[in-house]
Chains A and B, each alone.
Chain A
Amino acid sequence: MDEIKLVRKSKKGNNLAFSTLIKIYEKDLYKVAIAMTKNEEDALDCIQEAILQSYISIKDLRQEEYFKTWLIKILINKCNALLKKNKKIMNLDMEITILQSYISIKDLRQEEYFKTWLIKILINKCNALLKKNKKIMNLDMEITEDLKIEESYKLDLKESINNLDSDLKIIVILYYYEDMSIKDISESLNIPQGTIKSRLSRARKKSINNLDSDLKIIVILYYYEDMSIKDISESLNIPQGTIKSRLSRARKKLKEILSINEEVL
């Protein structure tokens, strides 16, 4: 049965037709959700919420041929809402960390290690939060404008670090940006020094190959989900000009990665 017929049936309350439609786009939903949330638990939450929302609102869908784009847009909204919520939790936790460090600074003995001491407090907070929520935290905010990196190779590294798995990302941040020793990282994260060394080596290799996340989501929406620049811009709340320039960057990188020659075009 073609998809438009399934959409029409779903609008009339046919649950089997609706389930069939969702299963057709299951992979698309997963691809978008995982690219945005970067962890499976959050991705599933967003997908489930998007399914419920689309189930309720499908009767109002006018252009049945755009069901897929409509569904993906609902999912993006759910992901954006979750990311916003997670950021708020993260901000609150940062405030608590600052407060805790303010209270306990009188006990700091080696003043020259203030930064390492502060980061250790932050890591403990993050570990507690992770344990509590059993969620992988998005550490993107660790790598923001406040990091003054001058060398261009470090800028490249910064871009690609954002795409690393969180177990690698935290080690790279602590080692490269915070200048913590392997011993200190090992103690803070409660991970053996050997594991830290092997993860650092893995991170070095991986960071070269990854596309950064702001490009990745646009690549997925544009090339896999066939969304227009206008639709992507509206969904991600990013100006069309920015989408175009990111797409142009992605195009160049993909051309290289996929080894597309001029002659083929």
Chain B
Amino acid sequence: MDKKLDAKIKQILQENDDIVVPRNISKGIDETLKSLSNKV
């Protein structure tokens, strides 16, 4: 029962996942990755 319910919850949550990564977070991540690339 729980397994079926979990699968259904997961399906609905993931289908309706409308979280958007804010621009400043995405930019901060890009900067970190850029600094790592420049290190080597």
Contacts and interface: CB of A to CB of B under 8 A. Distances in A.
Interface in B1-37: 1-2, 4-6, 8-10, 12-14, 17, 19, 21-22, 24-26, 28-29, 32-33, 36-37
B6 A15 contact: no
Given A30-B19, A51-B29, A44 B9 contact: no
Contacts of A223: 6, 9-10, 13-14
A260 B5 CA distance: 8
Contact of B36 (A23, A30, A55, A219): A55
Interface of B: 1-2, 4-6, 8-10, 12-14, 17, 19, 21-22, 24-26, 28-29, 32-33, 36-37, 40
Interface residues of A, number: 31
Contacts of B21: 26-27, 30
A134 B32 CA distance: 21
Contact of B25 (A15, A47, A251, A258): A47
Nearest to B9: A254
Nearest to A22: B33
Nearest to B26: A26
Given A27-B19, A258-B12, A265-B8, A13 B26 contact: no
B13 A15 contact: no
Contacts of B10: 223
Contacts of B33: 15, 18-19, 22-23, 51
A52 interface: yes
In the A-B complex, list the 10 residue pairs whose CB atoms are closest, starting with the nearest: A19-B33, A15-B37, A44-B28, A265-B4, A30-B21, A48-B32, A223-B10, A51-B32, A223-B13, A258-B12
Contacts of B28: 44, 47-48
